[in-house]
A and B are shown apart, each in its own frame.
Chain A
Amino acid sequence: EDKVVQSPLSLVVHEGDTVTLNCSYEVTNFRSLLWYKQEKKAPTFLFMLTSSGIEKKSGRLSSILDKKELFSILNITATQTGDSAVYLCAVSLTSGTYKYIFGTGTRLKVLA
């Protein structure tokens, strides 16, 4: 059975801290891994990763994929209270339609 697991489930940090969120997967027919940020509404796209070892960066956020060890990390540096959200990892498969399998999510709270 295809599975995506995120850790930690929740995290509380202070502004300025750096956090690392983890996503591991066990799937057949891997196509890509995606990170989303979810506040009160639907998820907002952050990154799509298809190749191992290539870091993607957007401001204070960065992410990398390891297809050999089957995991990805999302780093947030110099955290701000606006980073408080649930971070979701999803894996897209090559078989069939463009179905995503979502992980459990990591709930991040950044304190002022």
Chain B
Amino acid sequence: GAVVSQHPSWVICKSGTSVKIECRSLDFQATTMFWYRQFPKQSLMLMATSNEGSKATYEQGVEKDKFLINHASLTLSTLTVTSAHPEDSSFYICSAPTGNSNQPQHFGDGTRLSIL
């Protein structure tokens, strides 16, 4: 079945560092991918929609200069958390629809980001 791979699974870094997270669709093409953030004991909050070959669409309240999204190919989207601070520590998850509305989106395994 369709698989989405997310890397890395865990990152610990110092405050002020920029961190890049990759999301790949392994056996299907994804013109759209989604990036979510999940704080402890909370639900998934959509951050942005990544669009292949064009600018990402950010949800209200999400800083586009802080969370840079690039979707340069049909199988890869990246999220870069720039100048990360402790409050950016969270669980980040990507998902990709297969293009068939009768099928569910496929989620990556998530990235746990800890900023010291």
A interface with B by C-beta (< 8 Å): 31-32, 34, 41-43, 45, 48, 50, 88, 92, 97-105, 107
Bound CA–CA A4/B45 (angstroms): 12
The reply to whether B43 and A42 form a contact with Cβ atoms under 8 Å apart is no
Shortest CB-to-CB span from B69 to chain A, Å, is: 14
B interface with A by C-beta (< 8 Å): 6, 32, 34, 36, 41-46, 49, 93, 95, 97, 101-105, 107-110
Q: Which of B36, B45, B101, B107 contacts A31 (CB 8 A)?
A: B101
Interchain Cβ contacts within 8 Å, total number: 48
Q: Which of A92, A98, A99, A104 contacts B43 (CB 8 A)?
A: A104
With A98-B32, A100-B34 known as contacts, the answer to whether A42 contacts B108 (CB < 8 A) is yes
Instruction: Report 12 cross-chain contacts, Cβ distance below 8 Å, ordered by A residue.
Output: A32-B101, A41-B110, A42-B6, A42-B107, A48-B102, A48-B104, A97-B49, A98-B97, A100-B46, A101-B46, A102-B44, A104-B43
Bound CA–CA A101/B59 (angstroms): 12
The reply to whether B49 and A88 form a contact with Cβ atoms under 8 Å apart is no
Kindly report which residue of chain B lies nearest to residue A41, judged by CB atoms: B109
The reply to whether A42 and B34 form a contact with Cβ atoms under 8 Å apart is no
The reply to whether A43 and B107 form a contact with Cβ atoms under 8 Å apart is yes
18 extra interface residue pairs, beta carbon distance < 8 Å, beyond A88-B43, A100-B105: A34-B104, A42-B6, A43-B44, A43-B107, A48-B103, A50-B102, A92-B101, A97-B32, A97-B97, A98-B32, A98-B101, A99-B46, A99-B49, A102-B43, A102-B44, A104-B42, A105-B43, A107-B41
Bound CA–CA A92/B49 (angstroms): 14
The reply to whether B109 and A42 form a contact with Cβ atoms under 8 Å apart is yes
Kindly report which residue of chain B lies nearest to residue A89, judged by CB atoms: B43
Q: Which of B42, B46, B110 contacts A42 (CB 8 A)?
A: B110
The reply to whether B43 and A103 form a contact with Cβ atoms under 8 Å apart is yes
